[in-house]
Amino acid sequence: MDSNHSAILGVLRALGAHVVDTSHVGGGFPDALVLHRGKCLPVEIKDGAKPPSARKLTPAQAVFHAEWERAGCPVTVLTSEADAVAFIGAREAA
């Protein structure tokens, strides 16, 4: 689990999203499912303070992301609390 995991989930919750922490699932499954405005959105959390090489998706995550992208349900990668705010803000504007 990345060091910013709890903070990002806290921001999402504070902005009104229902968040299920799924970081324990494994197998490439995203770190959280975010229910917001009637949509269930998969979210992967990476630590934006780490170098890009340390933020890469694992092979299992890359496969999962590609499969869900093809199915029309892309996984959003959040690297900071600001990303979480922008993610919810973009959904509010839609």
C-alpha to C-alpha distance for 40 and 47, rounded to whole angstroms: 23
Rg (CA), the chain: 13
Q: Which long-range contacts (CB under 8 A, 24 or more apart) does 86-92 make?
A: 87/12, 87/43, 88/12, 88/15, 88/16, 88/17, 88/36, 91/36, 91/37, 91/39, 92/37
Q: Digits of tens for pLDDT over the chain (94 positions)? A: 778 999 999 999 999 999 999 999 999 999 999 999 999 999 999 999 999 998 999 999 999 999 999 999 999 999 999 999 999 987 666 6
Interior CA angle at 15 toward 42 and 30, to 5°? 15
C-alpha to C-alpha distance for 10 and 27, rounded to whole angstroms: 24
pTM recorded for the entire structure: 0.91
